[in-house]
Amino acid sequence: MCGFSLALMLWLQALPPTSTVDPALTIYMGDHLQPIVGEKFKIQGSPLHILISAYDWLRLKDAVQGSPDLCQSAVDATSKACAEEALKVAEKARAQTVADADLIASLKRQLDSANELTATEAEAHQRYKWATISVGAVTAVVTSIMIVQMYE
């Protein structure tokens, strides 16, 4: 049992520590720099404050002052991302327009086919109607002749 506990402790030490830092308290400085982590504290009767060390303050100040065009690069990155998304949306809309045109053409062909079938069936209906009327008229005449001949 002691060996198992020792092995478990050694194995758990090899695992990376889990981060319990609140992301709202972290300022990420880029891939190559350690993030700056603040600490929350509250003074009686005042809003919540966040405290960073003097060393982290100097790192943050140096990063901001060392990048005078930081706002311009943020605006450029944002406008570039916006333009890329606009191109993607335009491409999707263009593809959807082509797909819609194909769908409309297909539905139009189906409608034309249905209209032709309806017209053909209407003509057949008219022929059958007049054929039925003609057969009925002939039947009525023949029956009348047979009745007249029967009573003569």
pTM beyond 0.85, yes or no:
no
Radius of gyration from C-alpha coordinates of the chain: 44
Domain end (from 67, 96, 126): 67
pLDDT digits (tens, 9 = 90+) for 30-63: 767 788 888 888 888 888 888 888 898 888 888 7
DSSP letters of 91-119?
HHHHHHHHHHHHHHHHHHHHHHHHHHHHH
Instruction: Kindly state whether residue 95 falls inside one of the protein's structural domains.
Output: yes
| Number of separate domains in the chain | 2
Q: Are 29 and 59 spatial neighbours (Cβ–Cβ below 8 Å)? A: yes
pLDDT at 9: 63
Q: Are residues 83 and 57 in the same domain?
A: no
Domain end (from 67, 97, 124): 67
Find all residues with CB under 8 Å of 64, minimum gap 6, and list them. Answer: 70
Instruction: Kindly state whether residue 11 falls inside one of the protein's structural domains.
Output: no
Q: Are residues 51 and 88 in the same domain?
A: no
Instruction: Kindly state whether residue 145 falls inside one of the protein's structural domains.
Output: yes
Q: Kindly tell me if the per-residue pLDDT of 7 is higher than 70.
A: no
State which residues form the domain around 29: 18-67
